[in-house]
Amino acid sequence: MNDYLRKYKNLMMLIVFIVATIIALVPLFGVLGYVVKNGLSALNLQFFINLPKAMGLPGGGMANAIVGTLIMVLIASVIGIPIGILAAIYLTEYDRNSWLSTAVRFATDVLTGIPSIIVGIVIYTAVVLKMGNFSALAGGLALAVIMIPLIIRSTEEMLKLVSHSIREAGYALGISKGKTIMRIVLPTAAKGIITGAMLAVARVAGETAPLLFTALGNQYWSRSLNEPTASLPVQIFQYATSPYKEWHQLAWAGSLVLILIVIVINLVARFAFRSRSI
C-alpha cells in the first residue's frame, strides 16, 4: 500500500473517532438542555415547600420527596460507607492475595453489575414482607446494598495508592498495625475515599427501581422511618407516566433538581478532592 493511501486512511479513521465522540455527547446535551428548559419554567419556591397537590390543581411541590430522598440516602450512607470501607481495608491491608480476597473482589465487581431492581425485590421479600409495610428503612437498606460494592471498589483503589514506605514508617516507630491503618493509612487516602463515597451517594440518589417496592412513595409527609416514604426519583416516575400536564411540569422540575444534585456532587467530588497525589 502506498504512503498516500495509508495517510489518507489514517486521517479518515481519526475523523471517524472524532465523529463517534460527538455523537456520544449529543444525547447528553439533548437531555440536559430539555431538563433545564422545561424544568426552569416549572421550578419555583412552592416546589420546595409544598406537598403534592391533587391532580389538576396548580402549585403542588415535592418537598416531601426531596426530604425523603435525603433521608434514605443518609440511611444508605450510614450503613453502606462503613461496611464498604472496612471491607476494602481487609482487601488491601490484611490480605491482598489469598483466594478469599480474590473471591470478594470478584463478587464486588459482579455485584455492581446486578440490576438494581433485583435489589428491590430481595429487600421486599426480606424486609417489607417481614415488617408488614413499605418504609424509608427498607428503601435506605436497598440503596445501601447498591452502595457497598461501589464503596469497596473506590476505597480499595485509593488505599492501594498509599505507598508502602508510609506503612513501614509506622511499624518502624513501633505503632501497631491497627493504629497504622486508622491513623496513618486512612487519613493519607482520605481525600480519595471521600471522593468515592460522594460519587456513590450521587449514584444512589438517582436510583428509582430499588425504591419502587421498598419505600413505595407517599403523597404526604412520612412521620417515621417505618412508613411509606416519597422520593424524588419515584415521584418523577409517577408524574411522568401520569396523563396530567401539571404533573408533567413537576416531573421536569423534579428532574432538574435531581440532576443538579447529582452533577454538583460529581463536580465537587472530582474537583474539590481531585488531588490524588499521595
Q: Which of residues 35-54 bind another protein (CB under 8 A)?
A: 35, 38
Examine residue 23 and tell whether it contacts another protein (CB under 8 A): yes
Question: What does residue 174 show for φ and ψ, rounded to 5 degrees?
Answer: 80, 15
Q: Shortest approach of another protein to residue 171 CB, angstroms?
A: 7
Q: Is 159 within 8 Å of 238 (Cβ atoms)? A: no
When binding is defined by CB under 8 A, the residue of 140, 189, 237, 246 that contacts another protein is: 237
Q: Is 254 within 8 Å of 236 (Cβ atoms)? A: yes
Q: Shortest approach of another protein to residue 71 CB, angstroms?
A: 18
Q: Which amino acid is at 22?
A: I
Examine residue 6 and tell whether it contacts another protein (CB under 8 A): yes
- Restricted to residues 166-185, the positions that interact with another protein (CB under 8 A) are 171, 174, 176-179, 181-182
Q: What would the x/- binding string for another protein be over residues 207 to 226, using CB under 8 A?
A: xxx--xx--x----------
Residues in Cβ contact with 61 at an 8 Å cutoff, skipping those fewer than 6 apart: 46, 47, 48, 49, 50, 51, 52, 250
> Which of 156-190 are b and which e, b meaning 16 or more Cβ less than 10 Å from the residue's Cβ?
bbbbeebeeeebeebeeeebeeeebbeebbbebbe
Examine residue 227 and tell whether it contacts another protein (CB under 8 A): no
- Restricted to residues 104-163, the positions that interact with another protein (CB under 8 A) are 104, 106-111, 113-122, 124-126, 145, 148-149, 152, 160
Examine residue 200 and tell whether it contacts another protein (CB under 8 A): no
Q: Shortest approach of another protein to residue 158 CB, angstroms?
A: 13
Closest CA to 232 of 61, 44, 39: 61
Q: Shortest approach of another protein to residue 180 CB, angstroms?
A: 9
Q: How far is the C-alpha of 188 from the C-alpha of 181, rounded, in Å?
A: 10
Q: How far is the C-alpha of 165 from the C-alpha of 278, rounded, in Å?
A: 11
Nearer to another protein, 53 or 248 (CB): 248
Q: How far is the C-alpha of 56 from the C-alpha of 54, rounded, in Å?
A: 6
Examine residue 276 and tell whether it contacts another protein (CB under 8 A): no
Examine residue 91 and tell whether it contacts another protein (CB under 8 A): yes
Examine residue 248 and tell whether it contacts another protein (CB under 8 A): yes
When binding is defined by CB under 8 A, the residue of 266, 268, 273, 278 that contacts another protein is: 266
Q: Which helix (H) or strand (E) holds 29?
A: helix 3-42
